[in-house]
Chains A and B, each alone.
Chain A
Amino acid sequence: MNPKTIKWIIFVIVLSAIVLSVYFVSLDRGSFRDGVFVTTAAFLTLFIMSFLYKDNPYYKFAEHLFVGVSAAYWMTMGFWGTMVPNLVAKLWPGSVRGVLPALADKDPSLWFLIPLFLGIVLLMRLSPKGGWISRWALAFIVGTTAGLNLIRYLRSDFIQQVNNTILPLVDKTEAGISFWGSFSNIFIFVGVLCGLVYFFFSKEHKGFFGGAARIGILVLMLTFGAGFGYTVMARISLLAGRMTYLFGDWLGLIK
């Protein structure tokens, strides 16, 4: 595409955005400023959706804009949400009086010099010669995270799940034996057992063992099927959400 064509395309997009913003105002859906915001968002949605046809400069523009804005937002949130309250306010409380008054009158905590030091050390990764020093801070992060997660994951995602698989195969209620309760418990028991057999590779999947492994595959397929069904619903929800925005919020065709 030559530069003249690109200029024309940009001119047409801007002009149509202004016209559509005026149309938005004419529908009594808000001010001209609202119209510009809503129209810009609608155009960006269309730019992103244009990728479904094929990769193109409009998609690239919207994608890069998103990445840039996200990075800037992340950085700002990181500074004001983490650095200022968790470090600056702890070491020099008086300096945050304007933004975090609740923390301004507390005593300085010199313990926070340690994370400050580790933070600086982590940045040494940018130095070609002193990069190895950053491993100290990384070792601290890895060690703490591993220690913190190990016990919790073990309890929440392993022991409690195993514990809950140990079920009575015959579900007795006050009214007698519950058929569906028993069926459900047996299904869970057999499903878990066969699923585990499928992932046991030290023995060849033949005979009874092979049969159990095949049932294990079936159980896995059922799980993937349920997951796929939910995924389709999620994607359609997102599509419907965007369509509602384009045809409802923007063009006012859907009430």
Chain B
Amino acid sequence: MDFFEKISQLDRRWVYLFLAVVVVIAFLTRFDVPVTITTEVKSIYDRIESLNEGDKILIAFDYDPNALAELHPMSFAILEHCQRRGVKVIGVTLSQYGAGMAENILRTASGTYSDKIDRFREYNQGMFEKTNDNRYRDKTYKKDWEYGIDYCFLGYKPYPALVILGMGQNFRLYFPQDYYNTPLGELNIMQGVRNYDDIKLAIDITAGNTADFWLIYGNGRYGVPLALGLTGVMGADYYQYLQSGQIFGLIGGWKGAAEYETLVEFQGGKAQEGMPAQVVAHLTIILFIVLGNLGYFLSDRRKQATVTQQV
């Protein structure tokens, strides 16, 4: 049995192990990977950049912990951009495990997360300073990003289609109060906000079919300008909506998140840090595909030659 034959019959567990080792080494060694900006990501950046200070946008964090690694980085990058521009964010989740994700990310981004594990420090290296009350405050901004004024979190409600339709009439229909049981009328950010007419755009960061509901009901029925932040698996399926103009931008997986982090010059962004691992892992997979196919074709040709000789 020669090398190529062995390779084509290699136990898949060696491939798993090899990939895991390669990814860890890529994280330990760290090297720069140039990130090229695509128009679909840039258009989201440009749209937020064009907003005025005080404008309000809706961000739906529709993902569960299983998509945290992929979608948290893009959520952080978008919130970072909103903070810099003074754009106010109304957060919501239509995914059953999304409440924990959304709360974590909003509190982390607002710098009011006092957990000792310091997730914010991990994501925002050098961006925050420790205050006397053991909280962390953004060093680059003149004012804190305050709950109820600069951002709020409406919470989770099941049945995405109905909730999206309901919010089109009035946010208070499905969310009479926010995640922390404060009536929406008492939140400064919600003053003058009745439905989608009072927000500039919506971004759905999702790992599931809520993107379809936002497209069909949010954009189709109410015409809210919509952008999507998607997991890599979903990315290719939604480009048709970009081409048709139903969405104005699309961030696909880690690559898209890395692009957004590059655009907002986000220090210590997880997606940018993960790009070397992506590149190395992709090269490894390509190598295995090539070797596997070579092994298959060569051993097949040898078998044919043996059969011909026997005849």
A residues contacting B by CB (< 8 A) are: 29-31, 34, 38, 52-53, 73-74, 77-78, 81-82, 85, 99-103, 148-149, 152-153, 155-157, 160-161, 163-164, 188, 223, 226-227, 229-244, 247-249, 253-254
Contacts and interface: CB of A to CB of B under 8 A. Distances in A.
A81 B156 contact: yes
A241 B20 CA distance: 11
A234 B232 contact: yes
A164 B243 CA distance: 8
Given A157-B216, A234-B70, 15 more contacts: A29-B118, A52-B16, A77-B156, A78-B158, A82-B158, A227-B236, A232-B281, A233-B232, A233-B253, A234-B233, A234-B253, A236-B23, A237-B253, A240-B277, A249-B122
A235 B68 CA distance: 12
Nearest to A244: B27
A239 B20 contact: yes
Contacts of B16: 52
Contacts of A99: 181
A233 B254 contact: yes
B96 interface: yes
Given A31-B116, A156-B219, A243 B254 contact: no
B20 A243 contact: yes
A102 B68 contact: no
B157 interface: yes
A235 B234 CA distance: 12
B163 to A, nearest CB: 10
Contacts of B285: 232
Contacts, number: 150
Given A101-B183, A243-B23, A231 B233 contact: yes
Contacts of A38: 117
Contact of B220 (A152, A241, A247, A249): A152
Given A77-B156, A157-B216, A234-B231, A241 B69 contact: yes
Interface stretch (B40-48, B126-134, B244-252, B295-303): B244-252
A77 B96 CA distance: 7
Interface of B: 13, 16, 19-20, 23-24, 27-28, 66, 68-70, 96-97, 116-118, 122, 156-159, 161, 176-177, 181, 183-184, 215-217, 219-221, 231-237, 240, 243-246, 252-255, 270, 274, 277-278, 281-282, 285
Give the secondary structure class of B's interface.
helix
14 contacts: A74-B96, A82-B158, A155-B220, A227-B236, A227-B237, A231-B233, A232-B282, A237-B70, A237-B253, A238-B66, A241-B69, A243-B27, A248-B122, A254-B28
B177 A100 contact: yes
B298 to A, nearest CB: 24
B109 to A, nearest CB: 19
Nearest to B285: A232
A156 to B, nearest CB: 4
B224 to A, nearest CB: 13
Given A38-B117, A156-B246, A238-B69, A230 B27 contact: no
A230 B252 contact: yes
Which one of A101, A161, A234 has the greatest number of beta carbons of chain B within 10 Å?
A234
A239 B19 contact: yes
A85 B70 CA distance: 33
Contacts of B184: 102
Which one of A226, A239, A247 has the greatest number of beta carbons of chain B within 10 Å?
A239
B181 A101 contact: yes
B136 to A, nearest CB: 15
A247 B97 CA distance: 25
B274 A237 contact: yes
Nearest to A253: B28
Given A233-B255, A241-B69, A223 B96 contact: no
Contacts of B216: 149, 152-153, 155-157
Which one of B181, B233, B274 has the greatest number of beta carbons of chain A within 10 Å?
B233
Contacts of B215: 156
Given A77-B156, A152-B217, A236-B23, A100 B181 contact: yes
A240 B274 contact: yes
A148 B183 contact: no
Nearest to A167: B243
A165 B250 CA distance: 20
Give me the 3 closest cross-chain CB pairs, A-B, nearest first.
A241-B69, A234-B232, A164-B244
A160 B242 CA distance: 12
A113 B292 CA distance: 64
Given A52-B16, A156-B220, A241-B70, A236 B278 contact: yes
B285 to A, nearest CB: 6
B278 to A, nearest CB: 6
A226 B238 CA distance: 12
